[in-house]
Structure formats: C-alpha cells, structure tokens
Amino acid sequence: MITEKIKSYSNFSQLQQDLKAGLISVKDLVNYYIGRIKAHQHLNAFLETFEAEALARAEEIQAKIDNGTGGKMAGMIIGLKDNISFKGHQMTASSKILEGYEAVYSATVVERILKEDAIIIGRLNCDEFAMGASNETSYYGPVKNYVDETRVSGGSSGGSAVAVQAGLCFASLASDTGGSIRQPAAFCGVFGLKPTYSRVSRYGVVAYASSFDQVGPIAKSVEDIALILEVIAGKDSHDATSSDVPVPNYSQLIAGEVPKKKIAYIEETLHAEGLDPEIKANVLAQIEKLKEQGHTVEPVSFEYLEYVVATYYILTTAEASSNLARYDGVHYGYRSPESKDLISTYKKSRSEGFGDEVKRRIMLGTFVLSAGYYDAYYSKAQKARRLIKEKMDHILEDYNFIITPTTPTPAFPIGEEITDPMVMYLADIFTVGASLAGLPAISLPSGENKQGLPLGIQIIGRRFKEENLLAFSKCIHKL
Ligand code: GLN
C-alpha cells in the first residue's frame, strides 16, 4: 500500500502534501528506499548507504514537518555522487587512490540541501574522477542500466542516473564537466540539468576540469529539478568563481503557460556521423510537436561541431593533469606499500592508485601543456573554445533555445566501447558544446526506441536563464 503510494508520486510537491497530511512518514520513505537499494545491489549504483543515519534523521525531519517548520526539501531522499564531499563520510571519486578517504568538510551543495531538510541516503558510483561516458572506468565496476542490465548506465554519473531510474532514491546530485549529468540521464530516461557555469558552487566537489565542472540535479520531473536548483544555486564565499547573479524562485517561475518561443536546431547534429537513425527521427518528431504547439523552430548552422570533442579533450585533460597532481601518496589517499623515498612514493602510488583512463588523461594533459606543444594544442584549443562560445551566444541572441539530441546512440552494451577511447569520446559530441560555452543545458526523456531503450533530448538555454529553460522543458513530452 505504502509502496504503491510512493511509486505514484510524479513530483515532490505531491509527496510533500502527503507528508504534511500525515498520510506517509519520512521513515516510511527511508525504509522504502533502503529496501529497494538492497534488492537492487547488483545494479551497482550505490557504493555505500547511510542507513542508520538516514533513519535517525528521518525522525528529526518528521518532527519538523509535524510542527510546520520543515524546509523546502523536507523528506526528499537524495543520493550523492561519490565526488561530492559529505563531512565524516567516505568519498573516493570511484578511484582506488582515494579508497577509505573520509571527507573533512561538506560541499556547499550538501550544506544547502541539508539546511532544507533533505536526507542523504548514500553515495553513488561514477566513472573514476568523473572521467568517462559509461561508468566503466570506476574502480568499483560499471553500473547497470535498469532497463537492460547488459547495457551501460552512461557516465560519468551512472550511479546517480540509475538510482533515480530504478527508484532507489527520490533524486540525486551529480556533476557535469562535458555531459556527465545529461548523457546518463538520457540513457536512463530521467531528467538531468547542467546549470550555467558558476551558477552552483564547486566547493567540496572533486575537481576534474575546473573551468567546466558544475553540480546539478537528476530527477524524475522538471519541477523537482527546479526545486533542487533553487536550493543549491547561488554565491558561495568558498568558491570565488561562483556567481552573485541573484537566484530566482525557479520552482514558482516555471508554473503556468509557456509563451511561444524561437528555437534553433543545429543542422550538423542531424547529419553527424554515427547518429542513430531512431534518435534522429525522435528529434525531428519533437521539432514537429513544438511547431504544432505554435513555437518557431528553425535550422541553424554550427560549423564547429567537428571540433568540439577535440577542443574539450585538450582543455579538460590539461586542467585534469594539474588538478590531479595533489594525489601523490603523501597528503591523503593511497600510498604504495613499495614506497621507499619521495620519488618512489609519487611514482608508485600514482601508478598503482589511478586507473588507465585517468592515467591516459593525465599524460595527454601534461603533453598538451608541455613547453614545445603548448601553442599547438592548449593555446589553440583556448581559441577554439572562444569561437565555439561566441557562436553559441550568437545563436542564442536570435533564438531562445537550441535543441539537439543528447547522445548519438542509446545506451550501448557494457564492454562494447570501453576498449577504444576515441569511440567513447565521441559519445560526448552533443553535450560538450554547452560545457565549452558555459551554458545551461538539460536532458529530457524523449521516449524509447524500438528495443525499449530510453532516448533523451537536450535543450540548451541562455546564460543564467534556467527559469526559462525549465519552463520550456515542460513543452517536451515523451513520444
Ligand atoms: N564523458 C566526458 C568525459 O569523460 C564527460 C565527463 C563529465 O562530464 N564529467 O570527460
């Protein structure tokens, strides 16, 4: 009975009403999700659950709800990607090098959701240091897609997406550097938002590529995405790059009718090599639906599409090579038992502690930053980034939104693409553009292919205009 009730909520405000009316308790919710996590351990989405703590907190939050002082997220059960710090809890970035590491402070996003009475139920598997598009680079193994367990979850936030897809928690927090929220959301048929760069504090989040990284929500409705964003966004004195643009009440602003909009779709994305024909047909059908609703949808040309993946990988590996220098076997995390002196401590701890993909990126990043190649690669990629950003901004002067497929293919079989990094990197072709430009982008469920695999559609919006992006997202329905 309770189980059916919990399953029936399509957004948090319905659940919150029932909590306030006493029809369901916070403890029921925690027990329900703990039960589901245990029954679905083979999906490998959760690396750890905080059962006792969550149950204790459920009592506290229940008391607040009962006396009318519960916060905006009172009773929301959240899973946390394993690269976001939660004081006193382990955080490994799914890497051997951080095995056993306990966070000494909480990320600002964690502080903020706790202040609004969310309950964190556990930490979620991801690609090692958020580097990957299938969750297969995790030291703890791949996450299985709930729709087809032989297929990947997408990545790097595979655990965060599958946890929501399989109903193991209400919503999750993840990070997105080049698609890590949007791509797994698309593969799992859920909603995932990468906010404008600097909209959300990065304090306490494991740094991969600092000029790209953003934290965002994965959930089952646009309304829930809006609510969570409203809580986590905003200036933070601990992150100098966080923006002081005021945070609107996203959850209220998205209600009501959506005025007619002008939307661009990028011609080149629909002719991209390797684009699955069913995804192409799905996007074209969505475009038709939008036109039927009275929106203007027009093709535009984005001649840089073939350069976005290269630009992204040069810049992010460069930033990663510097960010990951701190894992040296000295300060914290894994130290090789073979260490004899300083140099062997560095060399052996890093060689044994990092996985292959992370090492590949550190080497690539070090190479593109090296004196002889800096101008040929790093400087050039910076220039390309500028052109890509200007072009996207230019399109968004004329149009309210840009619409693209989120991914070129649906979820692929586990083991199929991991052997070829180039193939894997191309999985990011449609998501890295917004990351290079720092623009907000959301992936929305757009239906299924003939095999029943989820398909996603991406909407990119204007800088700091998440309220418009989210309001418009409600015009997109599963086909
Ligand atoms: N797949 C991309 C990469 O491996 C994106 C990862 C991310 O957004 N963290 O870099």
How far apart, in Å, are the Cα atoms of 38 and each of 45, 49, 145, 163, 326? Answer: 11, 9, 16, 12, 35
pLDDT of 479 over the 90 cut: no
User: Which range is least confidently modeled, 6-15, 157-166, 189-198, 428-437?
Assistant: 6-15
pLDDT at 143: 98
Going by their DSSP bridges, the two strands 401-405 and 454-460 should be labelled as: antiparallel
- pLDDT of 464 over the 90 cut: yes
How far apart are the C-alpha atoms of 129 and 138, rounded to whole Å? 8
- Asked if residue 435 is part of any domain, the answer here is no
What H or E segment, with its residue span, contains residue 77? Answer: strand 77-81
pLDDT of residue 229: 98
Is the bond preceding residue 322 a cis peptide, omega within 30 degrees? no
On whether the CB atoms of residues 443 and 165 are closer than 8 A, the answer is no
Ligand 1 atom with the shortest distance to the CA of 132: 4
Among candidate residues 180, 321, 349, 435, the one labeled active-site is: 180
148, pLDDT greater than 80: yes
- The number of folded domains in the chain is 1
Do the domain assignments include residue 19?
yes
Q: Where residue 247 falls among pLDDT bands split at 50, 70, 90?
A: very high
Residue 452 has which token pair?
């029943």
Overall residue count recorded for the chain in this entry: 479
Cα 334 to Cα 130, 330, 360, distances in angstroms: 18, 8, 19
Asked if the structure places residue 467 within a domain, the reply is: no
* Best of 152, 173, 177 for a ligand 1 pocket test (most atoms within 8 Å of beta carbon): 177
Mean of the pLDDT values across residues 336-349?
96
Which pLDDT does position 331 carry in this prediction?
A: 87
Ligand 1: centre distance to CA 121 (Å): 25
Please report whether residue 43 resides in a domain: yes
Active-site residue, selected from the candidate residues 85, 156, 221, 349: 156
Look at 155-169, 214-228, 246-260 and tell me which has the smallest mean pLDDT: 246-260
pLDDT digits 0-9 by tens, 149-204: 999 999 999 999 999 999 999 999 999 999 999 999 999 999 999 999 999 999 99
Average pLDDT over residues 52-67: 98
pLDDT at 396: 98
Q: Is 180 a catalytic residue?
A: yes
- In the reported structure, the alpha carbon of residue 148 is separated from the centroid of ligand 1 by a whole-number distance in angstroms of 22
**pLDDT value at 422 more than 90:** no
Least confident of 103-107, 122-126, 269-273: 269-273
CA of 65 to the centre of ligand 1 (A): 39
pLDDT (0 to 100) of residue 244: 97
Q: Is the CB of 136 under 6 A from ligand 1?
A: no
Which residue has its alpha carbon closest to ligand 1 atom 10? 131
Residue 417 domain flag? no
Q: Exactly one of 81, 220, 261, 465 is catalytic; which is it?
A: 81
Phi, psi of 7 (to 5 degrees): -65, -25
The verdict on the CB of residue 135 being under 6 Å from ligand 1 is no
Model pLDDT, residue 200: 98
Maximal CA-CA distance, the chain: 70
- Is 81 among the catalytic positions? yes
Name residue 258's amino acid: V
Gap from CA of 181 to ligand 1 centroid (Å)? 9
Q: How far is the CA of 272 from the centre of ligand 1 (A)?
A: 20
Residue 244 burial (10 A CB sphere; 0-12, 13-18, 19+): exposed
Average pLDDT value over all residues in the chain: 97
Q: Is 213 in the pocket of ligand 1 (CB under 6 A)?
A: no
CATH number of the domain that residue 136 is part of: 3.90.1300.10
Lowest mean pLDDT among 101-105, 254-258, 296-300, 359-363: 254-258
What integer is the mean pLDDT of 113-142? Answer: 98
Report whether 445 contacts 188 (CB < 8 A).
no
Percent of the chain with pLDDT over 70: 100
Query: Is residue 2's pLDDT more than 90?
Result: no
pLDDT value at 332 more than 90: no
Q: What is the value of pTM for the model shown?
A: 0.98
Q: Is 455 in the pocket of ligand 1 (CB under 6 A)?
A: no
What's the half-sphere exposure (Cβ side, CA atoms, 13 Å) at 173? 35
Q: Which residues contact 212 (CB under 8 A, 6 or more apart)?
A: 177, 178, 197, 312, 315, 316, 319, 435, 436
In a domain, 387, yes or no: no
Q: What would the pLDDT profile of 301-325 be if each residue is shown by its tens digit?
A: 999 999 999 999 999 999 999 999 9
Query: Does a structural domain hold residue 296?
Result: no
Q: Which domain holds residue 72?
A: 2-253
**433 in any annotated domain:** no
CB-ligand 1 contact for 192 (6 Å cutoff): no
Ligand 1 center–CA 187 separation, angstroms:
14
